[in-house]
Structure 1
């Protein structure tokens, strides 16, 4: 397979997106990549990320590539997990405490921070509406995040999310309660569940 064929394959495999890191790890030089980008009219959408003209835009994927340390959370996680009907605006991410978030905030992204010990709890990979893999928190962790951040969340969004969650076939109440204890929202979560279950 020639370098151009490899790049064409990567572009197709990633639904019209091409990462510099993928090209380099496939043994393709930056010069060849640059030529391919120019000849095919790819648009640079982020540092090290190009998009073909016929690709569907995927802001979630672009954010994930630009800020790989971030995890989609809160309302954005609800949307990715099909626990909310509409795309949130702005998007929400969680970072480790101490991580610089100035660029994300400047771009209008809502940033939450948690201590290191809680950051990795419940991270999963899911598929964005445009078909790309992104990192988000699972449903149980997301419900606890909403309770923790209830002053910054519409109460209706919280109530709807919990109602939708309790009707899921694959809900995991023991895991939800374990997270609720970890995030110090056990009492509130239990009150909601007592009413809904």
Structure 2
């Protein structure tokens, strides 16, 4: 350690109480002069307090399991998805159904479906859980507008596009509560999870992976959402029930936040058969 750094640290520690940011700055300075073995020792010493902080809300009586145990791995995965448990994700992380069932009993998890559970103190993240169970689903239409910041209206339900050939009746048999309704002029499935706005499952033309991106739900979990261009194309279709105000606002915001990408939007609109409708809006808004 340089003499200069020693003097700085000595002066800082002796002169006054340090703020958290100042302490972090000092630690960063110290880390730069440690060798690989010393850094490994520091990491090892910080593991327990770090994981105690990260996992505390999931623990029973603040009892942390051994860091190299299956129970610890289970809790890490639980925290990663904010208390929402998907069996397939746990299996991918090396945690078998035997351990899932065992720890589910210990931590009093609530069963949502036969493939999903949630910690009792956590909110059910319906869009996330549904997509993990039905991987072809994509948040779209008015729901995507909000997640993409193309409108300020908070949707009262989450629209999910499903492939046209998907048998929605099979989903109806595997969820807790469902009913049928018309959405955009076609028969769609309304799925309800406890403490969540309903999901509306509607059949859709194929959605290419290039027209899908990852966003976060209000609970902080990753979900698949149609891109801005595909979303605008979807709400411009003749059978769309999107409000006129939402269409205008979405197109205006798209051009404000994506300068120079108008041709991309027109290209997707042409591909989806709504270019003439888009051009009508662009002309009225003087955007193109």
TM-score, reference length from structure 1: 0.88
In the alignment, does 2:107 pair up with 1:18? no
What secondary structure sits across from 2:257 in the alignment? coil
Q: Structure 2: which 5+ runs fail to align? A: 1-67, 173-177, 179-188, 192-197
Give the alignment of 1:30-69 within 5 angstroms: 30-69=97-136
1:138 to 227, 230, 241: 227
- Structure 1: 5+ residue stretches without partners: none
Q: Which moved more, 1:42-51 or 1:135-144?
A: 42-51
Report which stretch shifted further, 9-18 or 24-33: 24-33
- Whether 2:251 is the aligned partner of 1:162: answer yes
Separation in 1, partners of 2:238, 2:210: 16
Q: Separation in 1 of the partners of 2:259 and 2:81?
A: 29
Alignment of 1:1-197 (within 5 A): 1-102=68-169, 103=172, 105-107=189-191, 109-116=199-206, 118-169=207-258, 172-196=261-285, 197=287
Deviations 1:86-144 (A, max 9, x none): 3312321112111112327042533332334x554511111112100000101111000
TM-score calculated relative to the size of structure 2: 0.62
Q: Deviations over 1:31-66 (max 9, x none)?
A: 221110111011122332221122233222122223
What RMSD, in angstroms, separates the aligned Cα atoms of the two structures? 2.1
Higher relative contact order, chain-length normalized (CA < 8 Å, sep 6+): 1
Number of matched pairs: 196
Tell me: CA distance 1:151–1:12, structure 2 relative to 1, closer, same or farther (3 Å): closer
**Deviation string, structure 1 residues 139-171 (Cα, Å, up to 9, x no partner):** 111000000155422222222222222221467
